[in-house]
């Protein structure tokens, strides 16, 4: 197996993305979580660029690291989350469940990677003896049968034509549903913020007005 510069940078940005994503869910401050999320977005954009998907890399930076992050910061400031309130809502059981789920996902990813490697080796050698478990996963077996063709398609991955074709033909309905979910999330944040302001003691409002 040849380990070139492209592989080095891929693993480098992958480690950065995983570490920053872990910090997103473990950071105490919501602002820190949002900043680590920006690092995750930039690492993913770099991975897209390494895959020759330059259009997706640019969209990742402009849309997610730009517009979506502005929306997240707006939501954080609108909720006005305090550190004391965040600590009170934490429970050890949630942390344990999150740890178990994280370990399960890591094991699943490693197993999927090893299985896909075995399938590719079996296809190249012209035998399926090295991948006995491949028949249990029809999707993986079908993709293995098209490895040679997928290498040609990989050169077109991430182009504007290919993305728009899949987005507005095959995934038009999920695209519209995602936009509606984003709108519902914004409305939910506004409703929660209004309820939080109504529950504040009148004396606290008077102090704020007097201070202003």
User: What pLDDT, on a 0 to 100 scale, did the predictor assign at position 209?
Assistant: 44
Residue with more model confidence, 52 or 198: 52
CB of 49 closer than 8 Å to CB of 72: no
pTM value?
0.59
User: What pLDDT, on a 0 to 100 scale, did the predictor assign at position 125?
Assistant: 56
Find all residues with CB under 8 Å of 79, minimum gap 6, and list them.
189, 192, 193, 196
CB of 125 closer than 8 Å to CB of 137: no
- Looking at every residue in the chain, the average pLDDT score rounds to 73
Residue with more model confidence, 195 or 168: 168
Q: Best-predicted range by mean pLDDT among 81-85, 153-157, 186-190?
A: 186-190
Q: Best-predicted range by mean pLDDT among 9-13, 86-90, 152-156, 204-208?
A: 9-13
pLDDT, tens digit, 9 for 90 and up, residues 91-120: 667 677 878 888 888 888 788 777 766 655
CB of 27 closer than 8 Å to CB of 60: no
Return the closest-CA partner of residue 49 out of 19, 17, 13, 4.
13
Q: How far apart are the first and last CA of the chain?
A: 67
Both tokens assigned to 97: 């469940």
Residue with more model confidence, 83 or 193: 193
Return the closest-CA partner of residue 106 out of 21, 40, 48.
21
Q: Average of pLDDT values for 64-85?
A: 73
pLDDT, tens digit, 9 for 90 and up, residues 107-158: 887 887 777 666 555 555 554 444 445 444 555 455 555 544 555 555 566 6
pLDDT, tens digit, 9 for 90 and up, residues 35-66: 898 999 999 999 988 888 888 888 889 888 88
User: What pLDDT, on a 0 to 100 scale, did the predictor assign at position 128?
Assistant: 47
Residue with more model confidence, 148 or 71: 71
Give percent of the chain with pLDDT exceeding 70: 62
Give percent of the chain with pLDDT exceeding 90: 9
Residue with more model confidence, 127 or 202: 202
């Amino acid at each position: 197996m040849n380990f070139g510069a492209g592989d080095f940078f891929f693993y480098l940005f992958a480690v950065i993305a995983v570490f920053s994503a872990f910090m997103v869910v473990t950071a105490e401050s919501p602002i820190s979580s949002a900043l680590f999320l920006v690092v995750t977005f930039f690492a993913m954009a770099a991975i897209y660029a390494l895959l020759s998907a330059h259009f997706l890399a640019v969209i990742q930076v402009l849309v997610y690291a730009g517009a979506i992050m502005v929306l997240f910061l707006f939501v954080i400031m609108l909720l006005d989350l305090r550190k004391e309130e965040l600590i009170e809502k934490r429970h050890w059981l949630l942390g344990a469940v999150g740890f178990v789920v994280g370990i399960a996902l890591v094991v699943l990813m490693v197993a999927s990677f090893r299985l896909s490697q075995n399938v590719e080796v079996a296809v190249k050698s012209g035998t399926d003896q090295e991948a006995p478990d491949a028949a249990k996963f029809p999707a993986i077996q079908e993709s293995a049968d098209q490895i040679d063709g997928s290498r040609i398609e990989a050169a077109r991955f991430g182009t504007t034509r290919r993305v728009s074709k899949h987005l507005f033909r095959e995934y038009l309905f999920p695209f519209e549903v995602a936009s509606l979910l984003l709108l519902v999330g914004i409305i939910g944040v506004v409703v929660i913020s209004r309820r939080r302001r109504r529950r504040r003691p009148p004396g606290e409002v008077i102090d704020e007005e007097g201070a202003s």
